[in-house]
Amino acid sequence: MDQRLETIKKSIRDIEDFPKPGIVFKDITTLLNDAQAYKALMEHLYDRYKGYELDFIAGIDARGFIFGAALANMLGVGFVPVRKKGKLPSTTISQKYSLEYGYDEVEIHLDAFRRKKNAQVLLIDDLIATGGTAKAAVDLINKTEALCVECCFIINLEALGGTDKLEAPVYSVLKV
């Protein structure tokens, strides 16, 4: 394994039985407060995406903002937040997605990608589990006539099959 990936992997803490019994929560706060690990992650992502000719990076509320905004700055492209319903101040479009019990909804500004047709967009978040939020975010990107060129996740919980729901290429830094 690439030394940077090993550094990243070692920096993520497992929390047993959170948020409920039987769940092993992947805590990225220990990645964020480890300057060496965070730098390794951001350099890894920069190296991967520097040749993609991206126009924007879209980050999913809220941890996707941490990685997406930093990477957008490194690549010299715009950052677009994909927010939970009711958090954006201007005209938005939204997409519902299923939860274990009920539904939730995410939205972006209608002009999030500056109305650039076929804007090349990277979607990023900290983790993919069942894939509902990520699928909704990809659908939103496509509704604006932009193109989600790839979905990037720091951690992919493979057993939950979330990446199978996505109609875009997927890259996962770590697979669990």
Active site positions, annotated: 63, 100
Q: Is 172 exposed, middle or buried (CB count within 10 Å of its CB: 0-12, 13-18, 19+)?
A: middle
> Which residues in 10-134 belong to E strands, given as ranges?
13-16, 24-27, 56-60, 78-84, 92-99, 102-109, 120-128
Could you identify the residue written with the tokens 């699928």?
135
Q: What is the separation, in whole angstroms, between the first and last Cα of the chain?
A: 14
